[in-house]
Amino acid sequence: MEKLNKVKLEQISLLQERVSEGSLEESNFRILKKIILKADNSQEVFALASMGMIFKNTGLVYDQKTEKIENNIKYLSKNNILSFVESGEIQHELLIGDNYDSLLNLQIKYLSKIKIIYIDPPYGSNDLGEFADTNYQNAISRDNLLSMLHPRLILARTLLLDDGVIYCSIDDKNYAYIKCLFDEVFGEENYISTFIWNNTTGGGIRSKHVNKTHEYILFYSKNKKNIEELWAPLSPSAISSYKLKDDRGKLYRLQQFAWQNESEGLNQKYPITTPDGTEIIPQEGYIYRTTKETFNKWNDNGIIVFKKTKESVFSNLDGSNTEWTISVKDYLGDGMGAPTSSLPKEYVKTNQKSSSEIKDIFGKKVFKFTKPVDLIKYLIKIIPEEENTIVLDFFAGSGTTGQAVCEINKELGKKYKFILCTNNEKDVKLHPRGIAYDVTVERLRRVMTGIATSGNSNFKWIKNNEKLGGNLEVFEIFFADNKDIDIFNKIDETNYGYKKMSLEEKIKWVCENFEKTAKVLK
C-alpha cells in the first residue's frame, strides 16, 4: 500500500506540472487527482495519469497505443544456465523479452531507484525485424516509433530517482519528434541539453546533397532542480590552451575579466584602480565577471593580472581610452570543466571504433548497430557520483552499456550496477539463436569473465585487456494465466530482491504487484 501511495503522489505531481505549464486544464487535473487517489492498483494510476498527458503544447499527433489488461501475467524467471554468479561481486541483471514487460516488472523492485538511463531505440525501418511483427507491423515508422516509446518512457520515468537522468540517442530525421515526446513525458523544464555526437570521421561515399557526420543524444532529468553541477574532461585542444605557469608550476590561461553583456548591473561595473593609480571601468556593452567583493579576493590571491595593451575593452572614468586591461588566471586544475554540447571525439570515439570493439570480442561482425563503449562511459561519468548507482538500458542490443559500466568499475574502483533489457530477435546469419543468447550474454560473459560460453579464451579482446569482473543474473519474461492455481509457485520472490515469504505473505505480495504485468499495448 505504501508503494501504491508513492506512485499516486508521483503521478499527481507530474500532472500538477502539466497544469503549471498550461498543457492540462486545472479542472481536469482536479478530476483526475480525485480518481487517482481512489485507484486500487498502480496500473490504474498509470492509465489515469496518461489521460493527462495530452499533446497540446507540441501539437504532436500519432497513433497512440493504449494499455489493456489481459489474462497473462508476465513475471521474471531466472535462467541459471546463462547466468554466471560468484560471491562477493556486483550483481548485474539482464532481462530478456519485450522491454515493455521488463519495465513493468522492474516497477516491483526498482521504483524510484535508477540513477541513469541510456537508450538507443530502433529509429530506422525494420530495425526490430521479426520482433516488430506483433505490435509494429514489422517496421519502425515514425508513427510506430512514437507509439512504442511513449508508454515505455512513462514507465522509465517512474524508475528514476528524483535526481535521475535519461539519455536517448536519435538521428536527425526523428530528432524533432522524439524531443517533443520527451518534453511531454519529462517536461520541457527538465530538458538539460542535446549532445552532438560526431559518429564518423567523414569521407566514404559522397552524398548527393550533404554528408551526415553526426547524431544526437537527448539529455533530460526527472527533476532538473535536483541535478548538481556537471563535470567532464576537457578536450586535448582545450587543455593545450593552458600554456602559462605560475610560481608553483601550475598551468593556467588568461581570460578577459570583462565580457560582452548589455546588462547595466552596477554591481558588475564598479571602478577598479590600476597599478599606476588611474581608475578604469568596462566600456559600454561590457560588464565584469564578478562582483567587487570577489574581485578583491582574487586580487589578494594573485589571480588578477593587469597589463597594458594597444586595444582594451576598458575606459577611464571620463570615457577616454585606456591602455590598461584586466585578466583573470583560469587554472587547468584537474582537467575538468562543464560538458560541451559537441562531444569531444577524443573521448567518445566513432562508429568505426564500435565496429572494431565487436570484432575484437567476437572475431567477426555479429551486430549491425552499436555505439562505442567510450561514448556510454563519457555520458555516465559526467553525472555526479553516488553510492550504489544503477544504470538502466532498456534497448540493450549488443550490451554496450553493460560493458561500459563494468569498465568504469574496473578503472575507477566503483560499484555501479547495470540493468539491461533486450528482446531475443533472431537473425539467421548474425545471431540464429537470438540476439540475447548469441550476442548480449556472450559479449558480457567474455568481457566480464574473460572466457566465452564455449570455454574458449582465444579472442583478441582478452589478449589486450583484463577481465572486468562482476556477476550477471539473466532473467527471462515468462507468462502465466492469472487463474493458474500454481502461479504462487511459479513466481519466485527472490528474483525481485525479496527473501522467501510465507504462503500468506506471498499471496498478498503477488496480488498487490503482478496484476499490472498483465497489461498489453493495443
Cell of 506: 506471498
Tell me the C-alpha to C-alpha distance, in Å, between residue 240 and each of 11, 236, 253, 256.
48, 6, 10, 18
User: How far is residue 29's CA from residue 15's CA, in Å, rounded to a whole number?
Assistant: 7
Q: CA 52 from chain center: how many Å?
A: 25
Distance in angstroms (rounded) separating the CA atoms of residues 321 and 225: 44
**What gap in Å lies between CA 460 and CA 425, rounded to an integer?**
26
Q: In this predicted structure, what is the pLDDT of residue 145?
A: 84
Grid cell in block for residue 391: 544504470
Ranges of each domain in the chain: 55-234+339-521, 243-331
Q: Is the pTM value of this prediction over 0.85?
A: no
Angstrom distance (rounded) from CA 355 to CA 372 = 8
d(CA 263, CA 470): 54
> Helices marked H in 21-77 — which ranges?
26-37, 42-50
Rounded distance, CA 438 to CA 191, Å?
A: 37
Contact call for residues 459 and 360 (beta carbons, < 8 A) = yes
Q: Which whole number is the average pLDDT over 14-28? A: 79
Q: What integer best gives the mean pLDDT of the chain?
A: 87
* Rounded CA separation 492/510 (Å): 10
Query: Mapping DSSP to helix (H, G, I), strand (E, B) and coil, where does residue 334 land?
Result: coil
> Backbone phi, then psi, for 502, in 5-degree steps?
-70, 165
Question: Cell numbers 515505455 correspond to what residue?
Answer: 152
- Indicate whether 130 pLDDT > 60: no
Per-residue confidence (pLDDT) for residue 433, from 0 to 100:
86
Q: What was the pLDDT predicted at 520?
A: 73
User: Rounded CA gap, 255 and 304, in Å?
Assistant: 10
Higher local confidence (pLDDT), 19 or 295: 295
What is the C-alpha R_g of the chain?
27
Cα distance between residue 424 and residue 436, in whole Å: 5
How many Å apart are CA 506 and CA 417, to the nearest integer?
Answer: 27
For residue 139, name the pLDDT band (cuts at 50, 70, 90): very low
Question: Superfamily assignment of 55-234+339-521 in CATH?
Answer: Vaccinia Virus protein VP39 (3.40.50.150)
User: H-helix or E-strand containing 177?
Assistant: helix 175-186
Cα–Cα nearest to 407, from 385, 383, 378, 367: 378
Backbone dihedral angles phi then psi of residue 401, each to the nearest 5 degrees: -60, -40
**Residue 212's CB: how many other CB atoms inside 10 A?**
13
pLDDT band, residue 203 (cuts 50/70/90): low
CB atoms within 10 A of CB 106: 25
405: confidence class by pLDDT, cuts 50, 70, 90 = very high
How do residues 319-368 score in pLDDT, each as one tens digit?
999 999 999 999 887 778 889 999 998 899 888 888 889 999 988 877 77
Q: What percent of the chain has pLDDT over 70?
A: 91
- C-alpha 437: how far from its chain's center? 25
**Tell me: the pLDDT tens digits for 209-219?**
887 888 999 99
**For residues 249-267, b (16+ Cβ closer than 10 Å) or e, as one string?**
eebbbeeebbeeeeeeeee
d(CA 500, CA 494): 7
How far apart CA 28 and CA 10 sit, in angstroms, is: 17
Give dist(CA 183, CA 509) in Å, integer: 35
